[in-house]
Amino acid sequence: MTDFASLLVADRGQKARAIHLVDKDSFAAWAKKRTAEDRALIEAHRFEGKTGFVILPRGNDFEVVSAVRDTNALSPWCLAKLADSLPEGAYKLAAGDAGAAALGWLLAQHRFDAYRKAENPQRGPRVLVTGDPARIEATVRLAEATALVRELVDTPAADLGPAEIEAAVREEAKRSGGHIRVTTGAELAKGYPLIAAVGRAATDERAPRLVELEWGKAGNPRIAIVGKGVCFDSGGLDLKPASGMRIMKKDMGGAAHALALARLVSTARLPVRLHLLIPTVENSVSGAAYRPGDIVKSRKGDFVEIDNTDAEGRLILADALTRAGEDQPELIIDFATLTGAARTALGPDLPATFVNRDDLAAEIESAAREVSDPLWRMPLWDPYDADLKSDVADLSNTSGNAMAGAIYAALFLRRFVPDEIAWAHLDTYAWRDSPKPARPKGGDALGLRAVFAMLEARYPPR
């Protein structure tokens, strides 16, 4: 992974090229104070302080003037284009500190190169010198967690199955000093029958499992983080079309988010007792595959009729949520690439967020705005719950209704969360179909920083 710590360093008076930030309101006043040579160059480039940047020569070196939307409220991405475009070397803002914009500076230089030949020639690093050393470590942690999500999601399914998800959690347990438990085979079939059913068509090397990690002192408030880990989703016997299957390596994006959030919690030393649960499977096709019309008894004891084998994520989450609730945490958060309906409703950028407590929803929404990691609350609309009925079992895994798919999925999950426990469910895309500065096409963390900011505010480090 990229060495982000080397790209963001404290200002100790070292030489660094200046970056002047302007916006459409401040540009004219700023330009008046420049030399005639600077103004002529800026005019020649038709730079008006709205978009882009201009290089200003300084003998054998240079400075930079760059447009941002608002110089008084820097976004995480307003320096990203510079970090991707400027020559190697050290830079610092001419006025103020980078603040939140340092994250984009770091992520713009992240590359997932495991499956590409090395660039020739290699580009050197662009180092940002900051006057706020207290934020360096926190920003680096956020960049590392985001990159972890991206790299896990971008890894091809052939190289990232349930065993590799388990290995990633084991690595995190080793790093944090947490304790891990893995449930497989007959024990999984007995204790977590929905997880076992979804994954039973896969080969032995890609056998389903529930991976759990616990970290933190036993006396601290207990929280559970659950992530959907479907390493590849063919749709099962309700087979997806080719277009729908093409990027299904990303269907473990919820697990990637959950693992990254667990890392943020432990590295920030939040005073919690963390329980990470990742049910991980491959939804494959074979003679052993579970079928439409099958009825499977869940860990909770409810019998679930399988209406559609492509609605598998909610099944494995149901058993994991039941397990999480058994230890009576005060908060459960789950991440899942669960429904195409969420994307239809909100597009790729906004995780559909379902919360069973208004105060918790307000905390998450406030944190999302604070860190510029947008999401959107959706309703747990009680009248729709009856549509999950089955003629022959306690409930069905789908409603049979082509509308409101994200809501039905969330209502299904809610049945496996104890009423007395606060719960948030993020139906996230975990992917970008087109690139933006510091946000390449492919896997991405959407909602991760918002939820971590909420946790950090709720459980501040001591």
Tokens 């099944």 identify what position?
315
Q: Measuring CA to CA, which residue among 375, 366, 296 is closest to residue 342?
A: 375
Which residue in 126, 228, 263, 314 is the catalytic one? Answer: 314
Q: Measuring CA to CA, which residue among 318, 347, 338, 456 is closest to residue 406?
A: 338
Sequence-distant (6+) residues with CB within 8 A of 306 are: 197, 290, 291, 292, 293, 294, 295, 296, 315, 396, 397
| CA–centroid distance for 234 within its chain | 22
Bridge partners (DSSP) of residue 10 are 130
Q: Which two tokens stand for residue 6?
A: 């080397």
Mark whether 240 is an active-site residue: yes
**Cβ atoms of 153 and 430 closer than 8 Å:** yes
Sequence-distant (6+) residues with CB within 8 A of 2 are: 106, 109, 110, 111, 143, 147
The arrangement of strands across the sheet holding 303-305 comes to 295-297, 303-305, 395-396
Residue 404 vs residues 341, 384, 387: alpha-carbon distances, Å: 7, 9, 11
Q: Give the single-character DSSP code of 206.
A: G
Bridge partners (DSSP) of residue 229 are 280
Helices (H), 155-237: 162-176, 185-191, 193-199
What distance in Å separates the CA atoms of residue 144 and residue 5, rounded to the nearest whole number? 9
Tokens 């004891």 identify what position?
301
Helices (H), 86-239: 101-107, 136-154, 162-176, 185-191, 193-199
Most distant CA pair in the chain, distance:
82
Which residue in 24, 141, 170, 240 is the catalytic one? Answer: 240
Catalytic residue ranges: 240, 314
